[in-house]
Amino acid sequence: MKIRLRLALILLIIFHNTAFAQQNGSIKGKITTSDGQPAAFISIGLKEKTQNTLTDDNGAYTFHKIKPGSYILKVSAVGLNTQEESITVSAGETAYVNFILTENNEALKEVTIAGKKNKYKVSLPSASLRLNEPLLEAAQNIQTVSEQLIKDQQIISMSDGLVRNVSGAARAEHWGDLYTNIKMRGSQVQAMRNGFNFVNSYWGPLTEDMSFVDHIEFVKGPAGFMLGNGDPSGLYNVVTKKPTGINKGEVSFTVGSYDLYRTAIDFDHKITNDGKLLFRLNAAAQTKGSFRPFENNDRYTFAPSLSYQLSNKTKITAEYALQNAKMTEVGSYYIFSPNGYATLPRNFTLTQPGVPDTRINDHSSFINLQHNFSDTWKATAQVAYSKYLQNGYSSWPSAVYTNNTIIRNVAIWDAESTMKLAQFFVNGQAKTGGIVHRILVGFDGGKKDYMADWGQSHDLDLPSAPFNVNNPNYGYPANGYPAFDRSTSLKVRAGTNIIDQKYLSAYLQDELGFFDNKLRLTLAGRYTYVNQSAYGANAEKAKKVTPRIGLSYSIDKNTAVYAVYDQSFLPQSGILRNGEKNLPLTGTNYEAGIKKDWLDGKWNTTVSVYRILKQNELAADPTNTAGESYSIVIGEKRAQGIEFDLRGEIISGLKLIANYAYTDGKVTKVAPGVKSVAVGEVVPGFAKHTANAWLSYTLQNGTLKGAGISAGFSHLAGRAMGTFSGTNEERNLPDYFKLDGGLFWENKSLRINANVFNVLDKYLYTGAYYTGYWNAPSYDLGVYSWQAEAPRNYRLSIAYKF
């Protein structure tokens, strides 16, 4: 009897559950971006209900056990127009609803990158690039270094090997880890942050710590949609981390050779349940020694950000970043010798222990307001403020003698930089007949001030007791330590060492799409007015309209060819003898290329060819007599080359970054009377051949699932970075080859990553040959200067996601 009762009870429960299940239904679907890519980790929920979920890596979502009835599905993510769709659920059935997110902005990109594991290939530009289209369709060569790639390569600052991931990019040796200074297409590129030009002197900005960086976009050649006042070689745009609307966090610990100890945290959270108020905190602290004695680079970073959805159409984001650095005096990386490159040991230093560290506080803040008028029109207003404070020292020799002795010199370097920047732009889309118009109109304005005291200096050594590089003595210096006067304000001490700039520009672009937007013609122009002065010279005013014409054609949905003509300009200081108006330096870019996505967009290739011409560049008039300071127009310089980039996941688990660039920079025209340069002479600022690769493979199945191996190399040949001599090969930099490799393992919450850098333990360096700089009594030749890289070294990182 008891057995029958129990059996009946079990059957009743099964029948009840089955009947209950049959009374419910489910909802399934997929969310994709405008270019057909899956939108991972997008929030979707039932309006006025408590049921919510996120899309998976493939953009798919599912709601189970939904009671029959009518519902409204609501899709939302930070910075997106909220989308809603009515749906009816029937008992025992599955309803399907798909969404296509038409917004193409930074917030969507952040969410997508955050949700996709090991994503090396990025399809969309950030909102700060202002381009309202997939990168495949843009008439510009734009390469993005993703956050995942930064983590895999254990990059901790902008100057830490990041440029290997972009064709033709190479870092100059200027001031070690203080500034980044990237060369590309023959000259130094502009440094941007969140769409703002963050360069306030030749040396800035302070190299960014990667703890608050989401990704970096490299834009090749002039980019009128970003700026018209700058070098035509291009720019890099650092995009900082912002709240995503996903409750997540990560803490990481890194140890490495030469006393590297670092910890970083990334905490991303919704403050309110409705997701309107979001918060994110990124912070890091590190102590870092060097393979050279007496050298350190200790830093901490604190970067909070807030985002608030004022309405379903308006969002405001505010962020702040503090970078604090305590490092050995600027210039400690440099080595000098009259005997040739690498003629001193790799760990040799000219730094004197006991010289105080340089201390830097770098503050930056941004406020961004976005308003969506409709699904196709959006306005963005943003402001930025930067305050850079430096209290420190720089080292540079007073004399370099042929007998391998040096007079070391330490100078004061106190500096302050202030930038106040503002932008307003509108993105929109409209149709006239069968033509699609992607419209961009905007304004930029800013005020930059920089002042520095480097007028005080002190020789550590005496002519009677110079520093002997063959028998270095790091005891108390012969001439004692410096005691600089800081009793007056920096403004008074700076004197004429002041740079100030005010600028205002307006930009209008219309990309016309023909034949169902397969053929796209870009017509644009930027008007820029600049008023600037430097180092006591009279203020120079310049204004110019820089045109931009681009053409892009989609051969199919995965292949596009493009061509672009673009200009930029730089104001110059100088007086022409004939009294004619001083024209700004003009850079003109002619470029064509082909882009292709492979295997449904998993990886991408870009090939481009370009020619950049610089005209109206000024130089000192060789006929000047005593007291005269006239200038002449030097002529024309040309940079040209070919670039190839590949990035993405080739097959499941196998990710590859590979690039190659051929670059050639020469003088093509010389004005009458100019003797300092000649036609055909190399213009330094590039390596003729640059090749890089980074290969990573992750096991997809089995006991060791998540384990992997990675390896990469960098090769530079025909280096003309700082100086170049066509007749004396020993003055030129030798070829460069660096091999790195590593092992890693990861699951959903834990990642362990170990890398070996400079596996072959080569003596690697970059440098320049100086002539006529030093007037030492017993020395009348040139001096070789170089900065060595670390020997074989190691890093181990452990990251925990929560």
CATH number, residue 75: 2.60.40.1120
Q: Pick from 225, 130, 237, 242: which is nearest to 193 by CA?
A: 237
Q: Is residue 451 part of a domain?
A: yes
Last residue of a domain, one of 70, 101, 132: 101
Asked if 32 and 57 touch (Cβ cutoff 8 Å), the reply is no
Take residue 689 and report the two structure tokens written for it: 């051949």
Q: Is residue 777 part of a domain?
A: yes
Asked if 145 and 216 touch (Cβ cutoff 8 Å), the reply is yes
Q: In this predicted structure, what is the pLDDT of residue 665?
A: 92
Q: What would the pLDDT profile of 351-387 be if each residue is shown by its tens digit? A: 999 999 999 999 999 999 999 998 889 999 999 999 9
Last residue of a domain, one of 58, 76, 101: 101
Q: Is residue 107 part of a domain?
A: no
User: Which has the higher per-residue pLDDT, 244 or 34?
Assistant: 244
Q: What would the pLDDT profile of 255-276 be if each residue is shown by its tens digit? A: 999 999 999 999 999 999 888 9
User: Which has the higher per-residue pLDDT, 25 or 505?
Assistant: 505
Over residues 564-591, mean pLDDT: 82
Q: Is residue 34 part of a domain?
A: yes
Please give the share of the chain, as a percent, with pLDDT higher than 90: 61
What total of structural domains would you count in the chain? 2
Last residue of a domain, one of 101, 136, 159: 101
CATH number, residue 466: 2.40.170.20
Strand 25-33 and strand 94-96: pairing? Answer: parallel
Q: Is residue 239 part of a domain?
A: no
Q: What would the pLDDT profile of 29-85 be if each residue is shown by its tens digit? A: 888 876 566 777 677 888 877 677 878 767 788 888 888 888 888 887 644 567 888
Q: Is residue 535 part of a domain?
A: yes
Residue 628 has pLDDT above 80, yes or no: no
User: Which has the higher per-residue pLDDT, 8 or 673?
Assistant: 673
Q: What is the pTM for the complete model shown?
A: 0.86
Please give the share of the chain, as a percent, with pLDDT higher than 70: 90
Q: What is the dihedral of CA 623, 626, 630, 636, to 10 degrees?
A: 40
* Mean pLDDT score across all residues of the chain: 88
Asked if 75 and 53 touch (Cβ cutoff 8 Å), the reply is no
DSSP single-letter state for residue 481:
-
Q: Between the CA of residue 121 and those of 58, 237, 291, what are the distances in Å?
A: 15, 17, 35
Domain that holds residue 82: 22-101
Q: In this predicted structure, what is the pLDDT of residue 84?
A: 84
Asked if 107 and 120 touch (Cβ cutoff 8 Å), the reply is no
Q: What would the pLDDT profile of 684-719 be if each residue is shown by its tens digit? A: 889 999 999 999 999 999 999 999 999 999 999 999
Asked if 210 and 156 touch (Cβ cutoff 8 Å), the reply is yes
Q: Is residue 15 part of a domain?
A: no
Residue 510 has pLDDT above 60, yes or no: yes
Asked if 787 and 767 touch (Cβ cutoff 8 Å), the reply is yes
Over residues 342-350, mean pLDDT: 96
Over residues 145-166, mean pLDDT: 93
Q: Residue 100 — very low, low, confident or very high, per pLDDT cuts 50/70/90?
A: confident
Neighbours of 292 (CB within 10 A): 20
What gap in Å lies between CA 783 and CA 260, rounded to an integer? 33
C-alpha angle 313/315/317, rounded to 5°? 170
Q: Is residue 659 part of a domain?
A: yes
In sign, the C-alpha dihedral spanning 513, 517, 519, 522 is positive
In sign, the C-alpha dihedral spanning 38, 195, 307, 285 is positive
What gap in Å lies between CA 76 and CA 82, rounded to an integer? 5
Element (H, E) at 114: helix 106-115
Of 249-253, 340-344, 619-623, the least confident: 619-623
